[in-house]
Amino acid sequence: MAGFTERASARIAERLEPLMGAAHDAASDPPVKSARTTVVVGRLLGAAFLICFGTGVYSHLLQDPLPWLPMPTRPVELFRFTQGLHVISGTAAVPLLLAKLWTVYPRLFTWPPVRSVGHFLERASIAVLVGVSLVEVTIGLMNLVQWYAFPFPFRATHFALAWVLIGALAIHLGVKLPVIARVWRRPRGDRADATGRFVSRRGFLAAVGAAGASAVALTAGQSVPALAPLNVLAPRRMGVGPQGLPINRTAAQAGVTETAVAPDWVLTVASPAGSRDFTLDDLRALPQAEEVLPIACVEGWSQSATWRGVRLVDLLDAAEAPEPSAPLRIESLQERGAFARTEMPPQYARDPLTLVALELDGGTLDIDHGYPARVIAPGRPGVMQTKWLRRIEVTA
């Protein structure tokens, strides 16, 4: 048996040798595949991943708050900024990741696959890093276009894999530190020889840069107003939608086309002090306030709008509810789905900018934007800006 496996592996190694030899030549020969190119692309990719990680953790803390870590409500556009950055750097990471893999791929198949324990750990961390990176950017892009063709929940998976990716990246950087240090220490002039290798390497980096820049330029307009005209790839367009604002889920998709326009609609505000129902006319009779606040979707699109309605603090006052010290429970007319119910930590509930909005940009809320009433609060992800309100509960 042992003899058989030995003979078999010897034969496989024999067959693979010419291939591996060619791969090795390819890895060491073309200047574009030099260590320097790998380090330069790796630096950018590492930066993109770190930005994605930091902004991703921030988004998770907003959506799954830790009780002892209150998140800021200002600046009102903070989440719009961090999430725009998240999606922009994730998009830029795609060409960088492909370029990085291309500069090293022959080495991913070196033979023998494992030389020592250290070598095994290095290769295992790279296998994890490559696999997880590819999955992260792929499901991230699929989420942007709302293509949920995978059998697992997006957010939990994307978040868990992000920690694996950052861990594998830390190990990878530790292992590669000598190479990275060598490249960084060498004086700039010595980094290329005089035979034009520099040009081809520069050409490669320029091509990668151009690919990254166009991927960003053609999508960033979903969150950066100045780039809006260039946005041809992102699914949501600034200014396009009912009342000039994109929609994430329509009233029809949420199954509220009838309940939202029912004549007996009321908004219930409940607290330990009791419960009160407000008709739409009741809400309109309360003092009205106007605020400019963004909808900032986790999927990367965002847009500012002028909202008008009742300040949540005024509504809670009118219902004689105590000042909230625990998360408010907010319920939508929508019956199913993850966003039918949300929780609002007290710092948003007490913030004077938080509105129960009845109007958008000077007109009655479109049914797709949450008619008759929706929440709009400063600094929160779009998914928490609950539409088609039914009930607000202050818990003790």
Ligand X SMILES: Nc1nc2c(c(=O)[nH]1)N[C@H]1C(S)=C(S)[C@@H](COP(=O)(O)O)O[C@H]1N2
**Is there binding between residue 388 and ligand X (CB under 6 A)?**
yes
Q: How far is the CB of 383 from Mo ion (least distance, A)?
A: 5
Cα gap 62→345, rounded to integer Å? 10
Piece of the chain touching ligand X by CB under 6 A; list 9-17, 24-32, 90-98, 246-254: 246-254
Nearer to ligand X, 216 or 297 (CB): 297
Cα gap 223→297, rounded to integer Å? 9
Of residues 246, 240, 352, the one with CA closest to residue 291? 352
Q: How far is the CB of 229 from ligand X (least distance, A)?
A: 20
Contact partner, 111, from ligand X, Mo ion, none, Cβ < 5-8 Å per class: none
* Residue type at position 273: A
**Is there binding between residue 246 and ligand X (CB under 6 A)?**
yes
Cα gap 190→331, rounded to integer Å? 64
Query: Which residue among 122, 291, 385, 390 contacts ligand X (CB under 6 A)?
Result: 385
**Is there binding between residue 382 and Mo ion (CB under 5 A)?**
yes
Residues in contact with ligand X, shown as a per-residue x/- string from 332 to 351 under the rule CB under 6 A: x-x--x-xx-----------
With 0-12 CB in 10 A as exposed, 13-18 as middle and 19+ as buried, what is 304? middle
Q: How far is the CB of 236 from ligand X (least distance, A)?
A: 9
Its sign, for the CA torsion 381, 383, 384, 385, is positive
Query: Which residue among 96, 383, 392, 394 contacts ligand X (CB under 6 A)?
Result: 383
Max Cα distance, the chain (Å): 90
Angle CA 308–313–317, to nearest 5: 120
Residues in contact with ligand X, shown as a per-residue x/- string from 193 to 232 under the rule CB under 6 A: ----------------------------------------
Contacts of 134 (CB under 8 A, 6+ apart): 97
Q: Is the distance from CB of 356 to CB of 315 less than 8 angstroms? A: yes
Piece of the chain touching ligand X by CB under 6 A; list 16-24, 59-67, 308-316, 385-393: 385-393
Q: How far is the CB of 231 from ligand X (least distance, A)?
A: 16
Q: Closest residue (Cβ) to ligand X?
A: 382
Restricting to residues 289-328, name those near ligand X by CB under 6 A: 295, 297
Nearer to ligand X, 97 or 296 (CB): 296
Cα gap 11→3, rounded to integer Å? 12
Q: Is the distance from CB of 156 to CB of 338 less than 8 angstroms? A: no
Nearer to Mo ion, 94 or 247 (CB): 247
The residues that bridge with 374 in the sheet, in sequence order, are 357
Cα gap 32→352, rounded to integer Å? 56
* Residue type at position 4: F
Tokens standing for 254? 């949420």
Query: Which residue among 312, 382, 392, 394 contacts ligand X (CB under 6 A)?
Result: 382
Restricting to residues 249-308, name those near Mo ion by CB under 5 A: 297
Q: How far is the CB of 29 from ligand X (least distance, A)?
A: 50
Contact partner, 245, from Mo ion, ligand X, none, Cβ < 5-8 Å per class: ligand X
Helix H, strand E, coil C: the string for 2-53 is HHHHHHHHHHHHHHHHHHHHHHHHHHHCCHHHCHHHHHHHHHHHHHHHHHHH
Express the helix, strand and coil content of the chain in percent, nearest 5 each.
55, 15, 30
Q: How far is the CB of 39 from ligand X (least distance, A)?
A: 39
Q: How far is the CB of 308 from ligand X (least distance, A)?
A: 14
Piece of the chain touching ligand X by CB under 6 A; list 30-38, 258-266, 347-355, 382-390: 382-390
**Is there binding between residue 248 and Mo ion (CB under 5 A)?**
yes
Restricting to residues 206-235, name those near Mo ion by CB under 5 A: none
Tokens standing for 291? 């605020």
Binding residues for ligand X, rule: CB under 6 A, are 245-249, 254, 295, 297, 332, 334, 337, 339-340, 369-370, 382-383, 385-388
Binding residues for Mo ion, rule: CB under 5 A, are 248, 297, 382-383
